[in-house]
Structure 1
Amino acid sequence: MTYGVIGTWRMAYEGVGKAYELLKRNGKTGDAVEQLVNTVEDYPYYRSVGYGGLPNEQGNVEMDAAFMDGDHLAIGAVAGIQNVKHAVSVARKLSHEHFNSFRVGDGATQFAKESGFEMGNMLTPEAKRIWQNRLTEVQKKDLNPYDGHDTVGAVTLDVNGSMTAATSTSGLFMKKPGRIGDSPLSGSGFYVDSEIGGATATGLGEDIMKGCLSFEIVRLMGEGKTPQQACDQTVYQFAEKLKRRYGKVGEISLIAMNCKGEWGVATNVEFTFSVGTEKQQPSIFMALPGPKRTTSIKPVTKEWLADYERKLKSPIK
């Protein structure tokens, strides 16, 4: 059997590398995807996930996460959880529960405390400064407060043919308290079936959840589509449909991998992702909408990576 891992955005790359090495050594898919997402949750420079994630309009970091076991179709999820270091790990523990496996708000936070997960203030000084600057901008310039909604999502496949999907995000920057996006919602932000494959989403949750896009990609792969065909068909048809019927469409990007280790990506914006398989070392790629409902994919350049690192770590004024 083969193995593979794919994750959303450049920010997943280090985690993809760790997951890849674990899978290469015959590690378990669930451990691999959790380690990948934990790596992103720990890194304070990523402003949309875990520690360092940007807060809601009241200055509180509310996180959403999900974990799905593709062998048993078991799902665990949390939404609006606060002060927990690894939201995805809480979601994984909840996936073992038949009842009460999706917990929100204070209930999710209380479960994490009672289960012994590491707790702490997830709002970094840098993220707080960005929030304070945005409050001032909104008041002085009458700007739309919303900005930033990049979810880390990942799919892993191990040599035993088991697959897992997971997501984690601090959600829309300056969101209203209690706002939940697609990330913890089965079928929208994620879905995986070890007999077929898996998919996860990132972008504007309010639009992604209108189409149950992750499930649709898995469904199409189950009908014989390659991951790339399934992603292209799902994303571009739905984006056009939503623009026609709802009047507008936000950012939508999805990744997928099937049970053979083949992968696919589709997006309506510039989108980076990271992937590694038995046949391919972990690499970072850029995806862009291509002609005739297809996706253009190419490796990122050294110049792009250097500019990304510079912007990521630039001091916050």
Structure 2
Amino acid sequence: MATRRGFLQTGIAGLGALWVSGGLAAVSRPIAAKVPRVVSTWDFGIGANAAAWKVLGQGGGALDAVEVGARWAESELCNPTVGHCGNPDRDGVLTLDASIMDGDGRVGAVAAIEDILHPVSVARKVMEDSPHVLLVGQGAQQFAIEHGFERKALLTDSARKAWEEWKKTSRYEPVINAERRLRPGDSTNHDTLGILAIDTRGHMAGACTTSGMAWKVHGRVGDSPIVGAGLYVDGEVGAATASGVGEEMLRNAASFLVVELMRQGRSPAQACREAIARVVHKRPAASKTLQVCFLAMNRRGEVGAYALHKGFVYAMQDEAGAHGLTDSASIYTSEQK
């Protein structure tokens, strides 16, 4: 009987027919361990890390740090895929998703919440002040208001105009790495701010926040608020977050998979690569037309990432300062436009 490790190795070997430019890109050399440290997805991770470092750099906890970093993305950033500037669904409704997880296993999340500026903080309230893990829709909004959050219309004029323009064709077509090129009001696409931190005590936490896929069916929920899909943290092992088309993370319990691979001894980069290989093995044709990215950090503070397609970047900050953006290795090595 084939072992699980053998299955993964076979899956990776089977990618040969799918490589587009001479083979699998080399795994990045592991980033040396350092504590405290914070890492975030995409270009806007620089701003999120800077906000989180105001907590970590003063000896604060990882959970507070990731919440502060995610809150920065939700309110200070104006991006059509994250927070208050997000593009709406096909009915013109802006819904937000978020999760937050502590290294001790506590977790809270909200999905499809409307008119609440900081869903990540509502998610923390769910974690700390309710017996539940996930609240959705009107129930999540009601919970937020009952706990002191202000209800405020968030849909911007630019996002509304983009929706009106989209309705002329009503074409739903995720675009690989579009998040690196969008301006407020642009028509597509998707993304997530995923943020992972380890503090001076070695305690880990993570958070994930997004406005989801532009023009999605009303009620659609992606991976960001789903424990084990868009985010997973185990303080004894490490943490992982995901970005890209959330349906693929949901199909593979992807962030949980990355952490479990680290538990088996993989480095963060190796774990992310094997998780990407799983995505390709299951849906090889679809993998050519969508982006999936993983970012991970182990309990020693080592960081790694991997993506389906070239173009995924992440940001890191520690006591040495902000490290700018790092290009992730990828399976497909020609960047899709």
2:86 corresponds to: 53
Rounded Cα–Cα distance in structure 1 between residues aligned with 2:52 and 2:119? 18
SS at structure 1 position matched to 2:87: coil
Residues 123, 248 of structure 1: alpha-carbon distance in 2 compared, 3 angstrom cutoff: same
Partner of 1:137: 169
223, 229, 241: which one aligns with 2:264: 223
Aligned counterparts of 1:275 and 1:118: Cα–Cα separation in 2? 32
Find the partner of 2:253 among 190, 193, 212.
212
Distance 1:213 1:100 in 2: 22
Partner Cα separation in structure 1 for residue 266 and residue 320 of structure 2:
21
Aligned to 1:202: 243
Aligned Cα RMSD in Å? 1.9
Distance in 2 separating the partners of 1:44 and 1:9 = 12
**What residue in structure 2 maps to residue 287 of structure 1?**
328
In structure 1, how many angstroms separate the alpha carbons of the residues matched to 2:229 and 2:108? 14
Post-superposition offset of 1:280: 5.4
1:145: how far off?
5.8
**Percent of pairs with identical residues:** 35
Q: Tell me which of the two structures has the higher relative contact order, counting C-alpha pairs closer than 8 angstroms and 6 or more residues apart.
A: 2
Query: Is 1:170 matched up with 2:211?
Result: yes
CA distance in structure 2 between the aligned counterparts of 1:279 and 1:230, rounded to whole angstroms:
26
Q: Match for 2:66 among 25, 33, 39?
A: 33
Give 1:190's aligned residue. 231
| Cα distance in 1 for residues equivalent to 2:221 and 2:295 | 21
Q: Aligned with 2:48: secondary structure?
A: helix
* Unpaired segments ≥5 residues, structure 1: 297-317
**Counterpart position of 1:90:** 122
Residue 149 (structure 2) pairs with residue 102 (structure 1): no
> Partner letter of residue 47 of structure 1?
P
User: The residue matched to 1:166 in structure 2 has which SS?
Assistant: strand
Structure 2 counterpart SS, 1:153 = strand
Shift of 1:118: 2.8
Residue pair 2:38, 2:318 contacting (<8 A) in 1 also: yes
Runs of 4+ in 1 over 4 A off after TM superposition: none
- CA displacement at 1:279 relative to structure 2: 4.7
Q: CA deviation at 1:10?
A: 0.5
The 2-side partners of 1:194 and 1:263 are apart by 15
Counterpart of 1:74 (choices 103, 106, 112) is 106
Partner of 1:310: none
| Alignment TM-score, normalising by the size of structure 2 | 0.80
Residue 286 (structure 2) aligns with? 248
Tell me if the contact between 1:50 and 1:169 (Cα under 8 Å) persists in the aligned partners. Answer: yes
CA distance in 2, matches of 1:104, 1:240: 31
**What is the aligned partner in structure 2 of residue 311 from structure 1?**
none
Q: TM-score, normalized by length of structure 1?
A: 0.85
What's the secondary structure of 1:51's corresponding residue?
helix
CA displacement, residues 125-180 of structure 1 (integer Å, 9 cap, x when unaligned) = 11111111111233xxxx33653110111111001111111111111101111101
